[in-house]
Structure 1
Amino acid sequence: MPDALVTPRIAIIFNPIAGRRRRLTLEDVCDRLTARGWAIDLRPTGARGDAERMAREIADLPKESRPDLLAVAGGDGTIGEAINGLSTAAAGLPVAIIPMGTANVLAAEIGLAVNPEAIAAAIDARQSQAIYIGRTNGRAFTLMAGVGVDAHVVADLDVALKRRIGKGAYVWGAFKQLFRFGFPIYRVSIDNQPPIEAASIIVAKGRFYGGRHVVAPKARLADPSFQICLFERKGVFHMLRYALALGLGRLPKAFGYSILEGREVTITGPEGDPVQGDGDILGHLPARITVAPVPVQLVMPIRR
């Protein structure tokens, strides 16, 4: 148990231009932590890449100067950016999330309610679990990496529209891909086995996608392995069929959809095709995706 006589310190990386409701959530969490005796170091971002840089700066501090906990207030993309800033030197630094994004998939994955009291209580308890993140071509992701339709949706996403209508921007982006996507064939090799062909691929560390839509029921953040989800059929009809099955919670049992397990994944296809991770573009094909050898200590919600 932490020493009650020592003031715990937390550094919070956050986006200052988030919507008013989200800023109020952060302020509420900070007030509750202050009431619990925490010293808070707020670090606002100003541009893309700042969350990664700030996390790296905190991780590289001498242990005696490092905060007791690092928190990231934002969406899954911001959290992923900060995770990229952590080094193996900070393997013991617990990381908490203050979900303020569009989908908050990581919060759903660990069962954290988007509620200031639940978030502050989880941080104050400092009960963490080791989770294994993925890496693709040198970039880290927490939840998933994908190629195919979803990566093209992310690559062409209208950011201004996302700020206005949230998840609807992804729906609109997927609709546009009906008329743009060429449906090439991708080849995926799992743990050095012969390649398998697929129309789209999601390499999952967690169960959920785009909120609480299940794509990989057996995926667990704490497992040092991936669930590799293969969309085997291509074309507009099958794209719509997969989308409907996802919305109805039936995707894992859909015809032409299969899930394999592995620790190392190599994907080839059209050279330069985008690879998305946690809703951001992490790189381009060809891609080699591996499990990071050193886990991240993620603060978990209090179980009632």
Structure 2
Amino acid sequence: MPAATRRLRRRRSARRCRPGATHRNARDLARPPSASGGIARTGRLCPADPGTRRHRRPALSFPHTVCGKSRMMRNWVAIQRNPISGHGQNRRELLRLVDELRRLGFDPRLYASRARLQRRMDDPNWRNRLRCIVAAGGDGTVADVINRFPDVPVTTLPLGHENLLARYWGLPSDGRRLAHIIAADHRIRVDLGEWNGRRFTLMCSIGFDGHVVLQTHARRRGHIRRWNYLLATARTLWNYRHPPQVLRFDSGQQVQAFHAIIVNNPGYAMQLSFTPQADPRDGAFDVCVFLRRRRRDVLRYLARAALGRIHRDPNVRIVRACSIEVTPAPSAPPAPVQLDGDPAGHTAGTCRILPAALTLIVPGPR
């Protein structure tokens, strides 16, 4: 074909594609409808153009088309995904979630960029029409969402490693099932914890466990696997010095301990159970305090936690409290802290309960 003919065809094809009909960033589907009220499109090339020979659909783009006017009238769902959770089976579940939400009449918007979701949420017109935010990832993704948008209904598509929050409330990793749970809109109010202004849903751990998480994240290369935690636990068991910390409870009680786990939600990694009686809707923490620090004591703690018998250990105390102040003992160094599986600095600090602070969308009663 002569070069002049090819150039003419390209110019005609370009004129058929209206400005504003393409996405510059396919990972962020948070684009408003066309200003002219026409059909919203995805992809780098205009998919409706009959002169376009090739259409490369980028990763995580969705070919559905919806009239711009009707889209603005519908409830929309923000999906904040962990960028490393968009591959393989996780990607397929994201696609299923978006497809099913659209089939059910919602307008799902997928975000890999935290800044783009923040800009959308800063617009009151969009914020007022929001159904919920889906945290697509692990417990760390949920913690990130609740800290940025504490007053917004949240649910989770569990794509992480442990997914303790989703496991406790029965939230599925199947995208289609989660779409129907969002449509049913069964909401509950649950407590949150707060450590030095940072919110968490599961637990705040001070000492041994905090050091394990700190070492795991310092050595991570991509996805964190269970064996990463096991290796970090072995290193911590051998090297960690267990600096004593002083815990002051709102009841006036004071305890010196070498490790403490402040629990809001009873789920814990690797099926361990430290406070199985904890209830995330009772307005209080269940605090597991460890009074000895020898290696054999730590191994005994882990064994009894695996069997659900930690409360029978004479060197363990379970205390209920709404506020706990933690400081290093005199001449002792600070201890590392972890919140929901992520490092959170070192002591000193204050942990307090926030009763009914989070709206969570969960499966309804059967």
Note whether the superposition's TM-score is higher than 0.5.
yes
| Contact 1:76/1:101, CA 8 A, preserved across alignment | yes
Q: Percent identity?
A: 28
Alpha-carbon distance, 1:262 to partner: 0.9
| Contact 2:272/2:306, CA 8 A, preserved across alignment | yes
Please point out which of 72, 80, 92 is paired with 1:24: 92
State the partner residue of 1:35. 103
Equivalent runs, 1:209-248 vs 2, <5 Å: 209-210=268-269, 212-248=271-307
Alpha-carbon distance, 1:81 to partner: 1.3
State the partner residue of 1:15. 82
Equivalent runs, 1:74-113 vs 2, <5 Å: 74-87=137-150, 91=151, 93-113=152-172
Scaled by the length of structure 1, the TM-score of the pair is 0.87
| Contact 1:137/1:287, CA 8 A, preserved across alignment | yes
Equivalent runs, 1:211-290 vs 2, <5 Å: 212-269=271-328, 270-290=332-352
| Contact 2:257/2:292, CA 8 A, preserved across alignment | yes
Please point out which of 111, 124, 134 is paired with 1:71: 134
Q: In the TM superposition, what whole-angstrom CA distance separates every residue of 1:37-57 from its partner, at most 9, and x where no partner exists?
A: 110111113xxxx3xx56655
Alpha-carbon distance, 1:200 to partner: 0.6
Tell me: CA distance 1:220–1:275, structure 2 relative to 1, closer, same or farther (3 Å).
same
| Contact 2:286/2:320, CA 8 A, preserved across alignment | yes
Say which SS state the counterpart of residue 184 (structure 1) adopts: coil
In 2, the alpha carbon distance for the partners of 1:283 and 1:58 equals 30
Alpha-carbon distance, 1:152 to partner: 0.3
The residue type paired with residue 297 of structure 1 is: T
Q: Bigger relative contact order, structure 1 or 2, given CA contacts below 8 A and separation 6+? A: 1
Say which SS state the counterpart of residue 214 (structure 1) adopts: coil
State the partner residue of 1:3. none
The residue type paired with residue 246 of structure 2 is: R
The residue type paired with residue 255 of structure 2 is: I
The residue type paired with residue 289 of structure 1 is: C
Say which SS state the counterpart of residue 124 (structure 2) adopts: coil
1:136 aligns with 2:195: yes
1:179 aligns with 2:235: no
Tell me: CA distance 1:32–1:281, structure 2 relative to 1, closer, same or farther (3 Å).
same
Alpha-carbon distance, 1:158 to partner: 4.7
In 1, the alpha carbon distance for the partners of 2:270 and 2:107 equals 32
In 2, the alpha carbon distance for the partners of 1:140 and 1:163 equals 25
1:114 aligns with 2:180: no
Give the root-mean-square deviation of aligned CA atoms.
2.2
| Contact 1:129/1:222, CA 8 A, preserved across alignment | no
Q: In the TM superposition, what whole-angstrom CA distance separates every residue of 1:224-276 from its partner, at most 9, and x where no partner exists?
A: 21111112221110111111222233333334222111110111124443211
Alpha-carbon distance, 1:94 to partner: 1.3
Scaled by the length of structure 2, the TM-score of the pair is 0.73
What runs of 5+ residues in structure 2 fail to find an aligned partner? Answer: 1-72
Q: In the TM superposition, what whole-angstrom CA distance separates every residue of 1:96-121 from its partner, at most 9, and x where no partner exists?
A: 11111110010112122333333222
What runs of 5+ residues in structure 1 fail to find an aligned partner? Answer: 1-5
Alpha-carbon distance, 1:17 to partner: 2.4
